[in-house]
Amino acid sequence: MEMGSEIFKAEKILASGEHSDVYGLCSKGRVWVLKCAKNRIDWRGDYKAFNAFMQYVPKNIYAPQSGGYFENVEVEYNGQVYMYQCAVSMNYIDGKKIAKNFADTDDKNFIKPNYQAMDALNLVYGLVPAIAHYNQKNYYHMDIIKENLIIDNKGKVWLIDYTGAKHDKSIFFVLSFKEHYDPKKTPAYHQFLLLGELFQDIAEGEQCFNIKNSFLAVQNDYTNNREENIYQFFKNLRSRLFEKGVNWNMKGYM
């Protein structure tokens, strides 16, 4: 698939929002996702960062391979043609998302919305391989929210939707928690903030308070420190948790 004017035939619509629509397509045996922007002005991502993700991430890492960026897109769905200024394609990951609330748990496409603290912490840590590899190139996924997680049938967590990715030299904007944005702090700092918010969003149980406070304490150490990577961040988090009597074994990751 090359950049340029394209028309796609969609088999189903996966999501529809204020700024974009997401379609499911099947072509030559490949099932994939096309995310279409209703207005390029609303498309806040950095295409250089998105394309860098496609180029750099290894095939077996915990993030899906992606397909391309297109302009002047026409999508045919249910006999109608819809026009979009631009779109990106991403591999379809077969799995379930975390439900927004318990009312959704009867839907086969969702899993329960809350985890005990240790399960939630291990789920967040399961994102590290993809994030770490991407960060080595100074690119950052800035939309780390539970809606962008998929759990496959083997229990592996996948971080999807790199369309909001940022290079640390680009104009910086935090998509999900823009009220916390501080231009004096690094993209890595904000990425850790999003991970902490993600944990808070999916976790429950008595240990959550200590974990959240430890997460914030370690995050504050990363305001302007580019030397330590995301693995070191979680090692330091584990040390803080031990000090508070929380025994997190990282399920053998370290």
- Is residue 240 very low, low, confident or very high in pLDDT (cuts 50, 70, 90)? very high
pTM of model > 0.85: no
In a domain, 26, yes or no: yes
CATH code: domain of residue 243: 1.10.510.10
Does residue 119 share a domain with residue 226?
yes
Q: What does the pLDDT read at residue 152?
A: 84
30 and 87 assigned to the same domain = yes
Structural domain count, the chain? 2
> By the 8 A CB rule, do 71 and 58 touch?
no
Q: 91-144 pLDDT, tens per residue?
A: 778 888 887 776 666 677 788 878 888 889 999 998 888 788 778 777 788 788
Statement to judge: residues 72 and 30 lie in one domain: yes
Same domain, 78 and 19: yes
Domain that holds residue 15: 6-91
